[in-house]
């Protein structure tokens, strides 16, 4: 076992897949000679060469388009968005072409589009977004958002091996802040589409993903310590396909549910999860479904304002207490 960071787990996963399968290659802005904006790909150019670690022009649409073409020819590209915010520049190629290629033409498009997402790092409105909801609506795309070191490695490896396009949201706040012991020499794979129980409980369920898992666990500890409340935390890990069964199993146990995500409230994925619960498990609810999300505003740069706009552990605690008192 060796203790590694979230960032190093991603590096290990991509490195191992490039060693295992010569069809895997990387492309993106400054990923080669510079090693990536966050140094995720540092050392890859020296090991795998310029044909498999490709520095690109500053054009996200071109990066994804080139990746799609390479995938159609039998390769398995991993395309980096220097910040996931700029994936909006590739929205057209991702939603109108990549997502529909198998349906329209029977063309497998095994690409991974990965990049640093999320806030809590004082990055301002252009470098702090969680844009998963923009792609959640599009059939044909898989969306992955790991919260732990183990899942960062296991899910990037699973995404690279998947025969469909995967958008991989890496939370930059977690890159160097969390560490975990990982087994050395093990082919660690986390299945896409399976949630995990991050914390067992019986009074209330919180469904969440990415860095909000850690905010929620902090809140759960506080609720147990101060209120004697047992909170179950479900880490979805994968947004599409979503493990709705795991959510329903937990709800049948606790009868109260809170959905927490870092993205803005209106049109956020919490609304879809709430709708599924209403359709499939309404009779199990002992209280209304509640959401904890960011405010509907661009993310401020000022630390105090960012902390106000983004959901905090205290927001989860307050919403949980309201639910439990209902």
pLDDT (0 to 100) of residue 185: 86
What pLDDT digit, counting tens, does each position of 207-243 carry? 999 999 999 999 999 999 999 999 999 999 999 999 9
Residue ranges of the chain with per-residue pLDDT less than 50: none
pLDDT (0 to 100) of residue 259: 98
What pLDDT digit, counting tens, does each position of 239-260 carry? 999 999 999 999 999 999 999 9
Give exposure, 157-167, as e/b (b: 16+ Cβ within 10 Å): bbbbbbebbbb
pTM for this model (two decimals) = 0.97
CATH numeric code, 196-325: 3.40.50.920
The CATH class of the 2-182 domain is alpha beta
Residue listed under structure tokens 């299945």: 191
Of 72, 127, 171, 202, which is the active-site residue? 127
Question: Is 127 tagged catalytic?
Answer: yes
- The residue ranges of every structural domain in the chain are 2-182, 196-325
């Amino acid at each position: 076992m060796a203790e590694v960071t979230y960032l190093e787990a991603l590096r290990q996963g991509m490195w191992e897949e490039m060693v295992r399968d010569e069809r895997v290659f990387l492309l993106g802005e400054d990923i080669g000679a510079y090693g990536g904006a966050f140094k995720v790909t540092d050392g890859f150019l020296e090991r795998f060469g310029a044909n498999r670690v490709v520095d690109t022009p500053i054009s996200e649409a071109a990066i994804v388009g080139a990746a799609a073409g390479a995938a159609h020819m039998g390769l398995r590209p991993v395309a980096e968005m220097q910040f996931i915010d700029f994936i909006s520049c590739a929205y057209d190629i991702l939603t109108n072409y990549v997502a529909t290629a198998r349906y329209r033409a029977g063309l497998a498009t095994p690409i991974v589009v990965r990049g640093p997402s999320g806030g809590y790092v004082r990055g301002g409105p252009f470098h702090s977004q969680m844009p998963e909801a923009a792609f959640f609506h599009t059939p044909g795309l898989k969306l992955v958002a790991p919260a732990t070191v183990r899942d960062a490695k296991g899910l990037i490896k699973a995404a690279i091996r998947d025969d469909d396009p995967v958008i991989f949201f890496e939370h930059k706040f977690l890159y160097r802040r969390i560490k975990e012991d990982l087994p050395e020499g093990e082919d660690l794979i986390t299945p896409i589409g399976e949630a995990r129980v991050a914390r067992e409980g019986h009074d209330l369920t919180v469904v969440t993903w990415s860095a909000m898992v850690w905010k929620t666990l902090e809140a759960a500890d506080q609720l147990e310590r101060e209120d004697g409340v047992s909170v179950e935390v479900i880490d979805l890990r994968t947004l599409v396909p979503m493990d709705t069964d795991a959510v329903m199993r937990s709800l049948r146990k606790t009868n109260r549910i809170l959905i927490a995500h870092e993205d803005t409230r209106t049109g956020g994925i919490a609304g879809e999860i709430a709708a599924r619960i209403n359709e499939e498990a309404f009779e199990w609810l002992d209280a209304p479904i509640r959401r904890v999300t960011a405010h509907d505003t661009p993310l401020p740069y000022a630390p105090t304002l960012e902390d106000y706009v983004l959901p905090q552990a205290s927001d989860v605690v307050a919403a949980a207490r309201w639910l439990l008192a209902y």
